[in-house]
Amino acid sequence: MHVILQGMELGIDRFDIQAVKFTGLMHDVGHGPFSHLYHEQMLVNMVDYIVNEHHIDVDPQMIRRVKEMILVSSECALPKSSSEKRFLYDVVANGRNGFDVDKFDYITRGCRAVGLGCNFEFQRLLETMRILDDEICYRAKDYLTIHKLFDTRVDLYRTVYTHSKVKAIELMVVDALVQANSYLEISSHIDNPLEYWKLDDTLIKTIETALGPELKEARELILRIRRRNLYQA
C-alpha cells in the first residue's frame, strides 16, 4: 500500500506507468539471434517499425519516452527532454547501478531453466523500496537480499554462461553463421527492421536442413554441435 501512496506523492500518473510497462515489453526486441549485440539502435528502430507496421495507436510522446528509457540504460545520462522523475528510467534497465527488474527477470528465469537454486526474493524489495532524491532506494537491512542477486548472477556466469562447452558452442554457431552468410545474406538484414525481425534461431534449422553444397561447411559445424564434437580449448 505504501508504494501506491508514495506513487501519488511523487506525481506518478498513468502515462508514466504505461511508459515503464511499454519499455519492459520492448527493451529486448533489438536483439539478434543468439546475441545481445547490435542492440540499442536497432531496438529503437524496431520500436518505430512495430508501431508503424501494425498501426498501433500510441501517443508519439509515449514512444519518445520509451526510446529514451531504453537508451538511457546504456548511456547512463538523463535525456535533456526529461528533467524530473529520473527514477522511472531506472526501473527496467538501471544505468546507474545495474539493479533493475530486467535482472530480476532473467536471473530467476535463468536459474529455473538450468536447475540452479535461486534464493533471491525480489518481491520483498518491491514492497519496501522508496524513492529518495529521485533515486530508487532500499532499506539498509536488505543488503543481503541485494547481494544475493549479484551473487547468483556471478554463479550463472561462472557455471552456465561462460562454461567451456557453452563457449565452444557459441563459437561454432558464430562460425556456422559466418560460413552461411555469403549464401543466406544474413548481414544484409541487420540495418533494415523489415528484414531484421525475420532473423531468429530458425537460421540453424535452415542451415541444418539445406541440401545444396552452398551451406556444406556451415551444415557440418551444426552437425558437430548436435553430436557434441565441440571445439577444444
Kindly report, residue by residue over 179-207, the tens digit of the pLDDT: 999 999 999 988 889 998 888 899 999 99
The mean per-residue pLDDT over the stretch 104-111 comes to 92
Query: Do 14 and 47 sit in the same domain of this protein?
Result: yes
Portion of the chain with pLDDT greater than 70, in percent = 90
Residue 231 lies in a domain: no
Query: Do 18 and 74 sit in the same domain of this protein?
Result: yes
- Which residue out of 2, 27, 36, 39 is catalytically annotated? 39
Residue 44 lies in a domain: yes
Total domain count, the chain: 3
Q: pTM for the whole thing?
A: 0.83
Query: Do 9 and 62 sit in the same domain of this protein?
Result: yes
Query: Do 197 and 170 sit in the same domain of this protein?
Result: yes
| 27 confidence band (pLDDT: 50, 70, 90) | confident
Residue 54 lies in a domain: yes
Residue 134 lies in a domain: no
Query: Do 11 and 78 sit in the same domain of this protein?
Result: yes
Residue 119 lies in a domain: yes
pLDDT-wise least confident of 13-22, 38-47, 50-59, 222-231: 38-47
Query: pLDDT at residue 5 above 90?
Result: no
Cβ-Cβ contacts under 8 Å for 6 (sequence gap 6 or more): 130, 131
pLDDT in tens, 55-107: 999 999 999 999 998 888 655 556 555 557 999 999 998 988 899 999 999 99
Q: What is the pLDDT of residue 75?
A: 55
The string of DSSP codes covering the chain is -HHHHHHHHTT--HHHHHHHHHHHHHTTTT--TT-S-S-HHHHHHHHHHHHHHTT----HHHHHHHHHHHHHHHH-S--TT--S-GGGGGSSS-TTTS-SHHHHHHHHHHHHHHT------HHHHHHH-EEETTEEE--GGGHHHHHHHHHHHHHHIIIIIT-HHHHHHHHHHHHHHHHHHHHH-GGGGTT-HHHHTT-STHHHHHHHH--SGGGHHHHHHHHHHHTT-----
Residue 138 lies in a domain: no
Portion of the chain with pLDDT greater than 90, in percent = 63
Residue 111 lies in a domain: yes
- The residue range of the domain holding 188 is 164-226
pLDDT-wise least confident of 7-11, 76-80, 130-134, 213-217: 76-80
Query: Do 21 and 94 sit in the same domain of this protein?
Result: yes
The mean per-residue pLDDT over the stretch 140-157 comes to 93
Q: What is the pLDDT of residue 120?
A: 83
Q: What is the pLDDT of residue 122?
A: 87
Query: Do 52 and 105 sit in the same domain of this protein?
Result: no
Query: Do 6 and 73 sit in the same domain of this protein?
Result: yes
Query: Do 28 and 55 sit in the same domain of this protein?
Result: yes
Q: What is the pLDDT of residue 205?
A: 95
Query: Do 149 and 201 sit in the same domain of this protein?
Result: no
Rounded-to-integer distance, Cα 161 and Cα 209, Å: 28
Residue 233 lies in a domain: no
pLDDT-wise least confident of 97-101, 118-122, 149-153: 118-122
Query: Do 34 and 122 sit in the same domain of this protein?
Result: no
Query: Do 12 and 85 sit in the same domain of this protein?
Result: yes
Active site residue 39: yes
CA–CA distances in Å: residue 137 to residues 3, 13, 132, 134, 151? 12, 20, 6, 9, 19
Q: What is the pLDDT of residue 2?
A: 47
| 1 confidence band (pLDDT: 50, 70, 90) | very low
